[in-house]
Amino acid sequence: MSNSFHYAFKVKDIASTKDFYIKVLGCPEGRSTDSWIDFDLYGNQLSAHVGVVDKELDYCGKVDGVSVPIPHFGCILTSAQFDELAERLEKAKVKFIIKPQIRYEGKSGQQKTMFVLDYSGNPLEFKSFENDDELFKS
């Protein structure tokens, strides 16, 4: 399982976190206690820890003319995974803070992108590149 990341973040409670990451996103559950829980997000380890979640979103990032919340985290998916996840999110009536759209259309780095909030208010971005070779291309 090389080339995957680990990210630890705060959530308001375990129950709503399980609802979002397991039921909505479809993440397999890993180890857990009463105060934290691990999930497999497309091969990456998320560790959700119960804490005080009281930060306001800061839309200080500007990407292709769209303000995005910073910080945020997420995954780069295949086009099919992206479309399937967008459909799952819509069916679960999860509010998009940035609806599924094409970024950099017709340019290098063209990608599908969407942003949602988990049930603790953490922003997540999911994206899919038209050409995977352009992931880090300047």
If the chain, 138 residues long, is cut into consecutive pieces of 10 residues, what is the mean pLDDT of each piece? 87 98 97 97 97 90 93 96 98 96 94 97 96 87
What residues does each domain of the chain span? 6-50, 61-133
The domain 6-50 is classified under which CATH number: 3.30.720.120, 1.10.287.130, 2.160.20.10, 3.20.20.105? Answer: 3.30.720.120
Indicate the pTM of the whole model: 0.92
> What Rg, from alpha-carbon coordinates, does the chain have?
15
Residue 1 has a pLDDT of 53
| Contact status, residue 49 vs residue 6, Cβ threshold 8 Å | no
Query: CATH homologous superfamily for 61-133?
Result: 2,3-Dihydroxybiphenyl 1,2-Dioxygenase, domain 1 (3.10.180.10)
Residue 41 has a pLDDT of 97
- Looking at the chain, list the stretches that DSSP marks H as alpha helix, in order from N- to C-terminal side: 14-18, 79-91
Residue 27 has a pLDDT of 97
Residue 2 has a pLDDT of 72
Residue 3 has a pLDDT of 83
CA pair distance 98, 84, nearest whole angstrom: 17
